[in-house]
């Protein structure tokens, strides 16, 4: 009798697991079909407009022509993708690391915040397209100016968000840490940094897309390789299918970086995701 009960319990457990997997797959499909349907709709509308209004290819090619160009020019596109990806990732890492370190300094020194925060705001107000030529003149046409431009464009949003996140701590928690004689380092690592993670990842999501923009802007000013240089070359030579293919590839790179940051956020701050799901 006990063996029968155990078999029934195991069967119930297996059935429950199958039902959960089925529900998870159904939810995944419900989450994915709206953006897929939107993309298909945009492509169909694009093709209809190009064909219906007989738009010349050098102005706006159809989706089929763009796809054909991507397949035909794939090796060349990949050759120009890797420099842009390297510049974007290096600028992303550099800009966000410096921003986090300065934000920590601001939280522990009001004087430093009052002195340097206005300077950070001033630098952020300068158009990046105006800074790029200066950096190219100083550092040449190599990777360095592109990385610095990508870092600059990532820096300010992360600085603002992390500074706010490090300060957004429950006063009662800080008082408890003070009663427990916790050092500044312990307060930072155990209280401030965990509470700032949602703010940090909000900034990183922005930076993951803007770093690609910064790298491409840098390549516009002075570069022979990279997606930015390829965009300029295709524009000046009226190679619209190649231009559109390059733009789509650059956008895809930004989407991949954004997706990676989103997945890291879900793994590192599960409590936030669980709370949102409830």
The residue ranges of every structural domain in the chain are: 1-54, 63-277
Is residue 234 predicted with pLDDT exceeding 60? yes
* Angle ∠(97,100,103) on CA atoms, nearest 5: 150
Determine the Cα–Cα distance for residues 65 and 74; give it in Å rounded to an integer: 14
Location of structure tokens 């300068």? 126
Q: Quick one: pLDDT band at residue 183, thresholds 50, 70, 90?
A: confident
Determine the Cα–Cα distance for residues 7 and 14; give it in Å rounded to an integer: 10
Give per-residue pLDDT as tens, 144-161.
999 999 999 999 999 999
Determine if residue 238 is left, alpha or beta; phi over 0 gives left, psi from -120 to 50 gives alpha, anything else beta.
Answer: left
Q: What are phi and psi of 210, to 5 degrees?
A: -70, -25
Q: Quick one: pLDDT band at residue 273, thresholds 50, 70, 90?
A: very low
For 133-171, letters b (16+ CB in 10 Å) and e give eebbeeeeeebbbbbbbbbbbbbbbbbbbbbebbeebee
Q: Which has the minimum average pLDDT: 39-48, 92-101, 109-118? A: 39-48
- Average pLDDT of the segment spanning 9-31: 61
Architecture of domain 63-277: Orthogonal Bundle (1.10)
Is residue 15 predicted with pLDDT exceeding 70? no
- Average pLDDT of the segment spanning 195-200: 91
Q: For residue 20, what pLDDT is reported?
A: 64
Query: What is the DSSP-derived secondary structure letter of residue 189?
Result: I
Quote the tokens at residue 24: 């998870």
Stronger pLDDT, 33 or 278, i.e. the higher one: 33
Q: Where are the alpha helices (DSSP H) in 168-269?
A: 171-179, 184-187, 193-221, 227-236, 240-268
Residues recorded for the chain: 278
Q: For residue 275, what pLDDT is reported?
A: 38
Q: For residue 27, what pLDDT is reported?
A: 60
Answer yes or no: are the C-beta atoms of 203 and 157 closer than 8 Å: yes
Q: For residue 277, what pLDDT is reported?
A: 34
Helix or strand or coil: residue 268? helix
Residues 6+ apart with CB under 8 A from 205: 258, 261, 262, 265
């Amino acid at each position: 009798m006990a063996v029968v009960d155990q078999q029934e319990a195991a069967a119930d457990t297996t059935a429950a697991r199958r039902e959960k997997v089925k529900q998870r797959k159904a939810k995944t499909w419900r989450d994915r079909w709206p953006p897929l349907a939107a993309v298909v709709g945009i492509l169909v509308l694009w093709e209809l407009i190009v064909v219906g209004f007989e738009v010349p290819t050098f102005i706006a090619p159809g989706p089929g022509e763009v796809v054909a160009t991507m397949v035909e020019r794939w090796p060349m596109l990949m050759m120009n993708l890797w420099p842009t990806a390297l510049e974007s990732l290096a600028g992303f890492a550099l800009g966000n690391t410096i921003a986090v370190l300065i934000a920590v300094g601001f939280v522990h020194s009001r004087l430093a915040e009052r002195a340097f925060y206005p300077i950070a705001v001033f630098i952020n107000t300068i158009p990046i397209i105006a800074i790029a030529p200066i950096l190219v003149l100083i550092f040449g046409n190599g990777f360095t100016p592109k990385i610095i431009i990508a870092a600059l464009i990532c820096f300010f949003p992360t600085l603002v968000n992390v500074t706010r996140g490090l300060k957004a701590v429950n006063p009662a928690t800080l008082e408890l840490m003070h009663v427990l004689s916790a050092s500044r380092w312990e307060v930072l690592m155990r209280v401030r940094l965990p509470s700032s993670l949602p703010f940090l990842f909000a900034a990183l999501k922005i930076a993951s897309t803007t770093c690609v923009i910064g790298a491409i802007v840098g390549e516009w000013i002075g570069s022979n390789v990279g997606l930015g240089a390829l965009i300029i070359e295709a524009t000046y030579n009226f190679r619209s299918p190649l231009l559109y293919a390059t733009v789509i590839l650059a956008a895809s790179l930004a989407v991949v970086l954004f997706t990676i940051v989103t997945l890291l956020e879900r793994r590192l701050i599960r409590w936030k995701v669980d709370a949102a799901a409830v």
